[in-house]
Amino acid sequence: MRKILVIAALIIGVISCGKEEDSATGNYPEIVGTWSMVDGEVNGQSTSLNPDLTYEDKQAQDCAKRSTLKFLANGDFRGVFYMPQVEPEYRNNRYQFVYKGCNRALDLDDLATEGTIKYKIRNRKIIVYGKGEDGSSTEIEFFNIESLSGRTLKLSYSEEMKAQLRSAYERGKQILQQNNIDIEIPENIDVALNGFIIMEKQ
């Protein structure tokens, strides 16, 4: 079950000990509903308006924006996550990333038949937890709520999410180095990890 939750965390792309609330939504009852990713923000700049975006960047962003998060009133957590397929290719005497398609990577609606996936909000932290049919359980601190106003939800990555994404970034770098693929990648992943995800209620 933890593997499922970690995969979801890596695509979107996020435990407090304060006062406990009776409901899953805590102080954010308006979070109930379906949310779609519409944009990101890094260093105060909208990622969709970045003039340096390549065709591959834009295609990858459009793919990720097909992902949705569903917070149900009974505390169930659902969602569909899409992951862009981007592969290095040697073109014009250099390696570059080429967009290959958009894959439906994880559907929590389908996985709900194999176990229970729930959420709770504590001190602005969205915590997702689950229990498998074998009785095993796990939880992961998913995102921090920066703001929730009307139909707009602004999220930041939790420290646990940052660690998972940073680990995936380092593994990717190692694979490129092991295969002698010289390609431009972000030198400082923390810049992106300290950014925000903007979601809109459907």
How much of the chain, in percent, has pLDDT values that exceed 70?
84
pLDDT band at residue 73 under the 50/70/90 scheme: very high
How much of the chain, in percent, has pLDDT values that exceed 90?
34
* Per-residue confidence (pLDDT) for residue 119, from 0 to 100: 92
**Count of C-beta atoms within a 10 Å radius of residue 86:** 16
Q: Rounded to an integer, what distance in angstroms lies between the CA atom of residue 158 and that of residue 27?
A: 18
Domain ranges of the chain: 29-201
- Cα torsion 89, 95, 101, 102: sign: positive
Is pLDDT above 60 for 16? no
Q: Chain-wide mean pLDDT for the chain?
A: 82
Q: Specify the higher pLDDT residue, 131 or 79.
A: 79
Q: For residue 177, give the amino acid letter.
A: Q
pLDDT band at residue 202 under the 50/70/90 scheme: very high
Q: Please identify which residue in the block is written with the tokens 């009307």.
A: 150
